[in-house]
Amino acid sequence: MFSIIKNAEDLGKSECSVPASNLVKAILSVMERHEYIKSYELLDDGRNGKFIVRLVRRINDCNVISPQYSVKKDNIMKYEKRYLPAAGTGILILSTSKGVIDHKDARSAGIGGKLLGFVY
């Protein structure tokens, strides 16, 4: 999903389609909340659905983080320095017990989780 969105942004497209799943929906929701994408909607084609993602042309880079490191609440800053270009720029996306959230919400809630990806 991240590479489809990044490639569409690089080509200057206004929208793209990504395979649908609950995890992808949660990640797109976080990206929409931080205004990295305009919106997304489910297009059900009978077999497997797809999300149509409307792009803002604001993403410089996004990618999956592999392996999915387990991050304790005290170590979020370490991964922020590792994957984001500067403090306050971009978001890390984590899967936590509270759902899929960004690193700022995880830090304020005092919870850790598994790193899924980054966007800036």
So where are the chain's domains?
2-55, 62-119
Cα(84)–Cα(108) distance, rounded to whole angstroms? 18
Is it the case that residue 46 has pLDDT exceeding 80? no
Is it the case that residue 47 has pLDDT exceeding 90? no
User: What is the mean predicted confidence (pLDDT) over 56-69?
Assistant: 94
Cα(45)–Cα(37) distance, rounded to whole angstroms? 23
78 neighbors 69 (Cβ within 8 angstroms): no
Which helix (H) or strand (E) segment holds residue 51: the answer is strand 50-55
Q: Which pLDDT score is estimated for 20?
A: 95
Q: Which pLDDT score is estimated for 6?
A: 96
41 neighbors 48 (Cβ within 8 angstroms): no
User: What is the mean predicted confidence (pLDDT) over 21-31?
Assistant: 97
For 82, what's the count of Cα atoms within 13 Å in the CB-facing half-sphere?
A: 11
**Can you name the CATH fold of 2-55?**
Ribosomal Protein S8; Chain: A, domain 1 (3.30.1370)
Cα(55)–Cα(63) distance, rounded to whole angstroms? 16
pLDDT tier, 87 (very low <50, low <70, confident <90, very high otherwise)? confident
Q: Which pLDDT score is estimated for 48?
A: 81
Which CATH code is given to the segment(s) 62-119?
3.30.1490.10
